Structure 1
Amino acid sequence: MTLVTIGACLTSVAAGFWLGLSFTGWAGPARHRFHDPEVSVQATIERALAGRDECERWPAR
C-alpha cells in the first residue's frame, strides 16, 4: 500500500511538471515557446511608458 501511494505521488508530480513545461512551451522536441510578442513584458512596459507620455500631454482635471 505504501509503495502504491509513493508511486501515485511521484506520477502526479511528474505529470504536473510535464504539464507545466507544456504550458510554457518547453515540452516539445523543438523547444518551441508559445510566445506572443504583443503580451511580452517588454511590450507591456513600452505600452505603459507610452501611456504615461500621453497622459503628461493632457492637463489633469
Structure 2
Amino acid sequence: MSENSNKRQKIIRKTIEAADGLSLGISMVVAILIGIGVGYLLKKFTPYPWLFWLGVFWGVAAA
C-alpha cells in the first residue's frame, strides 16, 4: 500500500509541476499577443506606423 501511495504522490507532484510550467508559458504568449494587438490598433488608428513596434515591445516587456 505504501509503495502505491508514494508512486501516486510522485505522479501528482510531477503533474502539478508540469501544469505550473505550462501556465507560465501560456501567460507569456498571451502577454506578447496582447502587445501585438495593441500595437496593431495604434498603427491602424494613428498616422505613426512605428507604434506597432512600441506595442510589440510592451508585450515582450510584460512577459
TM-score range, shorter chain: 0.3 to 0.5
TM-score, length of structure 1 as denominator length: 0.46
Q: Relative contact order, CA 8 A, sep 6+: which one is greater?
A: 2
Considering only CA atoms, is the larger Rg found in Structure 1 or Structure 2?
1
Higher percent of residues as helix: 2
